[in-house]
Amino acid sequence: MIEELKQDAEERMQKTISALGVSLNKIRTGRAHPSILDGIRVDYYGSETPLSQVAAINVEDGRTLSVVPWEKPMVPEVEKAIMKSDLGLNPSTAGSVIRIPMPMLTEETRKGYTKQARAEAEHSKVSIRNIRRDILSDIKDLQKEKEISEDDERRAQDDIQKITDKYVAEVDKALAIKEKDLMEI
């Protein structure tokens, strides 16, 4: 029973780390990377569709992305979706190829993105701690119902704390990598 709870905690905390990775990828650095456009949705014949499903996204060079829609009539729709996104990108179209130059980040925008990254990391830590709280509550319930001994409860609490510490360290590591990436000129 305790092993199942520990496994549940591991799985849920791992999902939190994955979600953090997705969130951090959306915060752009000065370099071009296709994941920057992950959150953009395009009106594709009346339905909101992720950009990656209506176009090929490639990195032309370190500072330019190219987007090639699968269908020629989709070019203006894709361009409009990119402009409407809150990423601050200005696409330019040449035929059916949409080029997106990545603007240089100013010191001020770097600090803003760093703050955003820290906020995302903090949300992940809170989520991990909430998972810990839920699992510890379940363990206490098992002990109250006399399904496990007090010693087993204490051991399980220590194990859950170790798991929590491991995932909080992973969040810190991911944040450190992103901050280094953002501050690189």
Res. 162 pLDDT band, cuts 50 70 90: very high
- CATH dotted code for 2-26+106-183: 1.10.132.20
Residues of the chain with CATH 1.10.132.20: 2-26+106-183
Res. 167 pLDDT band, cuts 50 70 90: very high
Residue 30 confidence (pLDDT): 64
Residue 169 confidence (pLDDT): 93
C-alpha R_g of the chain: 22
- pLDDT, tens digit (0-9, with 9 covering 90-100), for 28-77: 666 677 777 777 888 888 888 888 888 888 888 877 888 888 888 888 88
3-state secondary structure of 179: helix
Mean pLDDT of 69-89: 82
One-letter identity of residue 78 = V
Question: 53 with 84: CB under 8 angstroms?
Answer: no
Higher-scoring residue by pLDDT: 101, 167 = 167
How far apart are alpha carbons 125 and 93 in whole angstroms?
Answer: 42
Strand partners, 118: none
Angle at 88 between CA 86 and CA 94, to 5 degrees: 115
How far apart are alpha carbons 56 and 158 in whole angstroms?
Answer: 48
Q: How far is CA 167 from CA 9, 82, 90, in A?
A: 10, 34, 38
Res. 185 pLDDT band, cuts 50 70 90: low
The CATH classification of domain 34-101, taken from the options 3.40.50.620, 3.30.1360.40, 3.40.120.10, 2.30.30.100: 3.30.1360.40
One-letter identity of residue 47 = S
- pLDDT, tens digit (0-9, with 9 covering 90-100), for 126-144: 999 999 999 999 888 888 8
Residues of the chain with CATH 3.30.1360.40: 34-101
Nearest by Cα to 52 from 88, 25, 31:
25
Residue 166 confidence (pLDDT): 92
Token couple for 2: 């305790």
| pLDDT score of 7 more than 80 | yes
| 0.75 exceeded by pTM | no
3-state secondary structure of 169: helix
Could you please report the per-residue DSSP string of 26-62?
HS--SS--GGGGTT-EEEETTEEEEGGGTEEEEEEET
Residue 29 confidence (pLDDT): 66
How far apart are alpha carbons 3 and 9 in whole angstroms?
Answer: 10
List, edge to edge, every strand of the sheet that includes 97-101: 55-61, 64-69, 97-101, 92-94
Question: 72 with 96: CB under 8 angstroms?
Answer: yes
